[in-house]
Amino acid sequence: MSPTRQNIVLIGFMGSGKSSVGRLIAGRLGFQFVDTDALIVQRAGCEIADIFAREGEDRFREMETAALESLQPRERFVIATGGGVVLRERNRELLRALGFVVLITASEDVIFERVSRNAKRPLLQTANPRETVAALLAARQPAYEAAAQWTIDNSTLTHAAAAEAVIAEARRAFAWQGGA
Ligand code: S3P
């Protein structure tokens, strides 16, 4: 069944490339780009790591749900989400209601290499981040699959190539005629 809302929603693990690919898609289609993490930071007035440290992960997940709810009236948006957004069933419903839900994946090696470039992600501040990545990936896989309408492996693609592939598939999903 085709989604009715012309938004492209990007889900996937930390480091899969949601934000980078999402910005490229938005630029190419003339859509607006929004990142739910950025929305949460803007609303909270502090970094995600601070929210986790001061208020805990559950509170952050509440804020994530609120961010998705606030986006519901939008059209012609590319929406990148945090890697854990799929964990709540309510969020999975909200994602689907928003538009075409694309899962961006990458191999564990690629993810680990990308997430190692910055230390901003609270869930990876563990004694063995490599093991944490592996465990979280395995635990979350069913939730990603349940939420996704289409999946692209971004392990070896350039972000530009991944963006083009998502656009091509979104055109089919929305049965667009015009556009880029
Ligand atoms: C999280 C991923 C992060 C951010 C928060 C929690 C997760 O977003 O929402 O640190 O649970 O996987 P990115 O996927 O954009 O890194």
Q: What is the pLDDT of residues 42-63, one digit of tens each?
A: 999 999 999 999 999 999 999 9
Ligand 1 atom at minimum distance from 120 CA: 10
How many beta carbons lie within 10 A of that of residue 14, not counting itself?
20
Q: Exposed e or buried b for every residue in 50-74, given b needs 16+ CB within 10 A?
A: ebbeeeeeeebbebbeebbeebeeb
Ligand 1 atom at minimum distance from 14 CA: 14
Q: Given this model, what pLDDT does residue 180 score?
A: 46
Pocket residue to mutate for ligand 1, from 10, 40, 121, most atoms within 8 A of Cβ: 121
Integer Cα distance of 114 and 108 in angstroms: 10
DSSP state of 78: E
Q: What is the pLDDT of residues 104-144, one digit of tens each?
A: 999 999 999 999 998 889 999 999 999 999 999 999 999 99
Chain-centre distance for alpha carbon 165:
16
Q: What is the pLDDT of residues 13-34, one digit of tens each?
A: 999 999 999 999 999 999 999 9
Dihedrals phi, psi of 123, to nearest 5 degrees: -70, -15
Pocket residue to mutate for ligand 1, from 10, 14, 23, 133, most atoms within 8 A of Cβ: 14
Kindly state the average pLDDT of the residues 74-102. 97
Under a CB-based contact definition with an 8 Å cutoff, are residues 21 and 104 in contact?
yes
Residue 176 has pLDDT above 80, yes or no: no
How many beta carbons lie within 10 A of that of residue 89, not counting itself?
11
3-state SS string for 99-138: CEEEEEECCHHHHHHHHCCCCCCHHHCCCCHHHHHHHHHH
State in Å: Cα 167 to ligand 1 middle: 24
Q: What percent of the chain has pLDDT over 90?
A: 92
Q: Name which residue leads in pLDDT, 180 or 120.
A: 120
Ligand 1 site residues, Cβ closer than 6 angstroms: 14, 37, 48, 82-84, 121-123
Q: Given this model, what pLDDT does residue 119 score?
A: 86
Residue 74, sorted as left (phi over 0), alpha (psi -120 to 50) or beta, turns out to be beta
